[in-house]
Structure 1
């Protein structure tokens, strides 16, 4: 396809703090892959061969591009406006006439949302097309849109109390994919993104195509748990040749065991679950449904991990439990510690609204900062953020 693709990977992930204090959001691992890898897959599914990753200045070396037709450049300018300006300049230098932009951290299942947006762009006649997702799920907080019967976007509301009140539980939000001509890409980069979208909506040149599948925008730590649920659902069972699974271990359906992982005698892994590269699940440990144990982590004897994300290089101590929680890279959960889930009641002030938004629909555990050590026999959770 004669179209250039861009992966916007210039954000630090401020809303994900403290999880992104060491590694910017685009390079976080989820099911053993960086978030930018899922964006690259979207573009490949759309038939785009020429791809540019636009990374935060100073972090371009963290991108695990390693694919033919993919190159990495550092973002010039600030925020989304700077990223789009960089994309425009790269498209012009490549002498391309059309472009597709994918924002890192927007995930879909099946992974064909970019393909849908391209097809709609080619058939609808709109100079600019946004992929739209239902606002009925997830914790979307910006990019609410209204669409008329012709598929034209009539309004675009960025992050605000008004937008949150309007969008909760209904309507559509920006789904992280934009397709346009290069001239329109230049126009979008002249002003902050929300202002550009509002202007184009008023001009009648902005179209929206509604994504019918599952969708997650990883904005807050809890969105990681929803993403795991979506990505592992129906993923099947795959055990790498280089993994070692003891004959007395119990491995259920829909379990992915990556290269170098070790599952010892008497360990139990109930699917759906992901056991990452070089992970060690020790004797008697239990990993339960919709959990992701990332590269190099250790789950010690008789520990329990349930519906949780365990980041790169984490150690979960013997006889401890981690339920409904998100544990940052390099953290330690001490022996006998308990991170329990429940209705959120201990979120910090900046996330206080989250408890009201979730209500009793979702039980949460704890968010553990990268490198933090949860002391032996600690009992915490219910929305606690452990520094």
Structure 2
């Protein structure tokens, strides 16, 4: 099998955080989201991974290189224009002559795909779609199955009155190589909107539920939730004290307090009486004295001023939050300066 990671997403709902980085490059506990997608593939026997990309590909290529850090070979298909999910994969069909496992690079998934592959082999499907349940499915493709796991109903982004299931397309597919020959060359073509309806009509599209954590990081609150889920899992793995767990890098200088499921990276400074609570602080960030950061993500090189408070906020790289400011449910792009004494609620600034 060969792995394909779809990494062309621009992440418009995460702007301005994604103004200078592709959506698969946003960090989850200090690692780009795409790393977690590639991690899914090695346990099922994948040794080579094709990354399809369109928006700001250089960051992904520089980070992943040839794949040595993941123990797989990584190569790339770069689109000059967006070709859609199926079109981007099919562009590289000349490199694909075996079964393909396709994973979305802008999802956080903590699951074992071996059951998915085994089901695909038993069913004789042309394509098997991983499925998951969500409370509100209107932003996704919803699925109805028969008793054999064949997809008999499929509706992409239904209106409220059209919802017949909370079971959705999880953005992970096992595909037989001949299916890609049905994708037209040189034009936009999508798995969900174009290819899957054809296969459903033919009875060769199957679905299988995932067991595990699935998070679409398309919104700021969901990106924070993904960081929180990974932090909690790491804490369970190390069975550490929540106050000073293995999630605080030994190079960090902690004079204040780190609480809850928090992650503190290398060369971070938490000054006297500053508090990090259920938050994710990347390299070379400084929290000045009496500042507080709660359920927030702060990217590398930013500075939080004295007596400033961040709640449910994402701060880009190289920002400066000057003293006595309060930010609640905000998203900042890179290198933003917040003036002293600011009070901002649900703002996006770049």
TM-score class normalised by the smaller sequence = 0.7 to 0.9
CA offsets, 1:26-65, max 9 Å, x none? 1222211111100110111322112122222652453322
List runs of 5+ in structure 1 lacking aligned partners: 240-249, 341-364
- Aligned-residue offset at 1:330: 2.4
Are the counterparts in 2 of residues 126 and 205 from structure 1 also a CA contact under 8 Å? Answer: yes
Give the equivalent residue in structure 2 for 1:271.
260
Give the equivalent residue in structure 1 for 2:318.
330
TM-score (norm 1): 0.79
CA offsets, 1:243-275, max 9 Å, x none? xxxxxxx96165502363322x2x111121111
Equivalent residues in 2 for 1:196-275, closer than 5 Å = 196-236=195-235, 252=243, 254=245, 256-258=247-249, 260-263=251-254, 265=255, 267-275=256-264
- Alignment partners' CA distance in 1, 2:269 and 2:150: 51
- Aligned-residue offset at 1:147: 2.2
- Aligned-residue offset at 1:140: 6.9
Equivalent residues in 2 for 1:2-41, closer than 5 Å = 3-41=1-39
- Alignment partners' CA distance in 2, 1:273 and 1:207: 40
Residues 1:75 and 1:82: Cα distance change in structure 2 (over 3 Å): farther
Give the equivalent residue in structure 2 for 1:317.
305
Give aligned pairs, total.
Answer: 337
Are the counterparts in 2 of residues 57 and 74 from structure 1 also a CA contact under 8 Å? Answer: no
Question: Which structure is richer in relative contact order (CA contacts within 8 A, separation 6 or more)?
Answer: 2
- Alignment partners' CA distance in 2, 1:280 and 1:155: 53
Are the counterparts in 2 of residues 6 and 87 from structure 1 also a CA contact under 8 Å? Answer: no
- Alignment partners' CA distance in 1, 2:266 and 2:162: 43
2:172 is the counterpart of 1:177 = yes
Equivalent position to 1:367, from 317, 327, 331: 331
Are the counterparts in 1 of residues 42 and 72 from structure 2 also a CA contact under 8 Å? Answer: no
Equivalent position to 2:281, from 273, 276, 293: 293
Give the equivalent residue in structure 2 for 1:305.
293
Give the equivalent residue in structure 2 for 1:105.
106
TM-score (norm 2): 0.87
2:272 is the counterpart of 1:283 = yes
Residues 1:164 and 1:301: Cα distance change in structure 2 (over 3 Å): farther
Equivalent residues in 2 for 1:72-91, closer than 5 Å = 72-76=75-79, 77-78=81-82, 79-91=84-96
Are the counterparts in 1 of residues 46 and 72 from structure 2 also a CA contact under 8 Å? Answer: no
Give the equivalent residue in structure 2 for 1:44.
42
Residues 1:11 and 1:150: Cα distance change in structure 2 (over 3 Å): same
- Aligned-residue offset at 1:319: 0.8
SS at match of 2:19: coil
- Alignment partners' CA distance in 1, 2:244 and 2:124: 46
Are the counterparts in 1 of residues 242 and 261 from structure 2 also a CA contact under 8 Å? Answer: no
CA offsets, 1:91-150, max 9 Å, x none? 1xxxx32111111121223x32x333212212222121011111227x871222222222
- Aligned-residue offset at 1:218: 1.0
Are the counterparts in 2 of residues 155 and 198 from structure 1 also a CA contact under 8 Å? Answer: no
List runs of 5+ in structure 2 lacking aligned partners: none
- Alignment partners' CA distance in 2, 1:90 and 1:164: 41
- Alignment partners' CA distance in 1, 2:246 and 2:344: 28
- Aligned-residue offset at 1:208: 0.6
2:73 is the counterpart of 1:70 = yes
Higher mean C-alpha deviation, range 299-308 or range 251-260: 251-260
- Alignment partners' CA distance in 1, 2:319 and 2:275: 19
CA RMSD of aligned residues (A): 2.5
SS at match of 2:197: helix
2:317 is the counterpart of 1:385 = no
Give the equivalent residue in structure 1 for 2:147.
149
